[in-house]
Structure 1
């Protein structure tokens, strides 16, 4: 479990009450926001947060002069942070700060899985890293406005509408990916086709189980009806799901035949065919020769 939002994060900043909200609007990865407020700091260092492939973006509501910040075990130059400015931190680099001045901030948690999901839904290359200067504040008007919208919801969670929170936190994630990760949408999707994340997930599921995976399971994972999924898969991939499954079975069978250590019966079982004759029949139809002939030709 992550230590980067909610009460676990509050404990690392010596805050007893750290209200938080989480959205799982993307198929994978969650984005969270935590409010941290301390009027009488102890002058101690914040505790380290468990290393993970994720980022924090902090929106400050109070000035913090001469802020002492460490990243990767090294203290950065002292900077004055102004109310309304934001700072990025990479949780792989062990960020810590001296808690010697009153502070009030919102901390947004953005894991790698969420960044990948955002890029997939935007039909864009996945973000490799976020660009920032350690310890330096940035006047990010968009984050400042979005954060101000979330404060009332954090103070009165019983009155907050889930759809509203999902919308704002999703907007924060997209803004971070674009502004600090350079994410740019690519060409438009084929009309009626699958989104990149849907196509990737469907192929992953088919490859993971080369047996008779149910169309209903693929459609449910992609949040589509079975008929819609079948049409969209065909439009994106150029063939129906069952034909792509058979194509993938043959590709894996070739890999195992080329290795040479498995019998044809074992290859058939490992690739989802009912028996050796089923493998031979489909292999000959697809490749033009039997599996045995293909293997011997590769060995020679």
Structure 2
């Protein structure tokens, strides 16, 4: 069992409470994120983490001055880390730090199997290694923003949509693979459709926003595509435009809600992301062929 996330990681870094989220969005490997916080550390070296073919990315929320970092038993660097900077670590090199200042970090766990799966689904060559300077901080805005989305979820994981958590952690993995591993998308995109990982991510984002709204450019950006190319590739892969696909998902959800006689049509519309009952009626009739009221009466008969 890995020591690189959750309470086992907390023990290595001398904290009692280490909340973690694990995603199984990739079938062959888990990814995870752990929150580590210590306001009054006892000076000393962090305990070694069991060696494995995996990487961790630490997003730091506190400034650390003259921080000492060690790899393979040797001091690798002494440098300042600013709040908001990220550091990469290779768990094959037994990374350790001198813990003598208060620290607060999000630590993302990326095993080799996860990086391989990400590359495979992108139809890209597998990544051999990640490019980073041992112990040095990087101002990675993407990691910082994705990490900020996860902090509330670590406090109340039962209140967050699992699709959202899978999406954010997968986005971290893809970003690391592209930015530090040099992963580049290849021929599968040339055929005009979405790669499997892009299709999964796009539909997860849309489903996660089924009751609200999401800008098409945001979904396209998460897939690494321009808005125009994404719209074309989405239609080619799923047979309909993104907005139409989302409407179909809302109509499917409304069918489930209409089985509850305690919900009015206005309530159903609100629950399913439509602006009002008229909006629900138009979309429902276009998709199903009858009005929601008529469909509900048919159920009763």
The normalised TM-score by structure 1 is 0.63
| Structure 1: distance between partners of 2:85 and 2:26 | 27
Deviations 1:244-272 (A, max 9, x none): xxxxxxxxxxxxxxxxxxxxxxxxxxxxx
Structure label with greater radius of gyration:
1
- Superposition pairs for residues 57-136 of structure 1, below 5 Å? 57-136=57-136
| Structure 2: distance between partners of 1:148 and 1:186 | 31
The alignment of Structure 1 onto Structure 2 pairs a total of residues equal to 197
Is the alpha carbon distance of 1:193 and 1:163 closer, same or farther for their aligned partners in structure 2, counting shifts above 3 Å?
closer
Kindly indicate whether the alpha-carbon contact (under 8 Å) linking 2:67 and 2:79 is maintained by their aligned counterparts in 1: yes
- Name segments (4+ residues, structure 1) moved above 6 Å: 192-197
- Superposition pairs for residues 3-42 of structure 1, below 5 Å? 3-42=3-42
Kindly indicate whether the alpha-carbon contact (under 8 Å) linking 1:123 and 1:196 is maintained by their aligned counterparts in 2: no
Deviations 1:183-235 (A, max 9, x none): 001112686999799xxxxxxxxxxxxxxxxxxxxxxxxxxxxxxxxxxxxxx
- Tell me the CA shift for residue 70 of structure 1: 0.2
| Structure 2: distance between partners of 1:189 and 1:168 | 23
CA RMSD in angstroms, aligned pairs only: 1.9
- Superposition pairs for residues 236-251 of structure 1, below 5 Å? none
Kindly indicate whether the alpha-carbon contact (under 8 Å) linking 2:49 and 2:91 is maintained by their aligned counterparts in 1: yes
Kindly indicate whether the alpha-carbon contact (under 8 Å) linking 1:120 and 1:196 is maintained by their aligned counterparts in 2: no
Is the alpha carbon distance of 1:194 and 1:161 closer, same or farther for their aligned partners in structure 2, counting shifts above 3 Å?
closer
Q: Equivalent residue for 1:165? A: 165
| Structure 2: distance between partners of 1:193 and 1:143 | 28
Q: Equivalent residue for 2:184? A: 184
| Structure 2: distance between partners of 1:160 and 1:143 | 19
Structure 2 unaligned blocks of 5 or more? 198-301
Deviations 1:108-138 (A, max 9, x none): 0000000000000111000000000000000
Kindly indicate whether the alpha-carbon contact (under 8 Å) linking 1:56 and 1:88 is maintained by their aligned counterparts in 2: yes
